[in-house]
């Protein structure tokens, strides 16, 4: 099962395994049915979520305001919604198969 699915034209859902407090920010790649993302920001105060949003936005070529954490804001397993990107472009950018 893929970590990426369409939510309609121009919107995708991304299932994430977050690793806050890492040595650097990095989209690692698929980990089972989730996309593993490491961020150096700590999980306090939403800083790790903001870093994840920024990393995803940069990889997808969309503004960070177009990425929101819709599930799991305070857990390591999250779901993000990215608006303004086609599923095919997201698959290419994030290495989904």
Q: Look at residue 96 and tell me whether its pLDDT is greater than 80.
A: no
Q: How far is CA 95 from the centre of its chain?
A: 12
State the pLDDT at residue 97.
56
- pTM, full prediction: 0.93
Residues 14 and 71: beta-carbon distance below 8 Å: no
Tens digit of each residue's pLDDT (9 = 90 or more) over 6-64: 998 999 999 999 999 999 999 999 999 999 999 999 999 999 999 999 999 999 999 99
State the pLDDT at residue 21.
93
Per DSSP, the three-state class of 15 is strand
> Which residue bears the tokens 């950018």?
93
Query: Domains in the chain, ordered, with CATH?
Result: 4-94 (3.30.1200.10)
Tens digit of each residue's pLDDT (9 = 90 or more) over 63-89: 999 999 999 999 999 999 999 999 999
State the pLDDT at residue 78.
98
Residue 49's alpha-carbon distances to 9, 60, 71, in angstroms, are: 25, 16, 11
Let me know the angle formed at the C-alpha of 45 by 34 and 31, rounded to the nearest 5 degrees: 10
**Nearest-CA neighbor of 42 among 17, 16, 74?**
74
Q: Look at residue 1 and tell me whether its pLDDT is greater than 70.
A: no
């Amino acid at each position: 099962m893929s970590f990426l699915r369409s939510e309609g034209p121009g919107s995708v859902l991304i299932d994430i395994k977050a690793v806050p407090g890492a040595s650097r920010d990095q989209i690692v790649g698929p980990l089972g049915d989730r996309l593993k993302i490491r961020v150096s920001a700590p999980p306090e105060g939403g800083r790790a979520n903001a870093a994840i949003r920024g990393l995803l936005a940069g990889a997808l070529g969309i503004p960070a305001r177009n990425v929101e954490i819709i599930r799991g804001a305070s857990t390591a397993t999250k779901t993000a919604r990215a608006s303004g990107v086609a599923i095919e472009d997201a698959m290419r950018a994030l290495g989904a198969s």
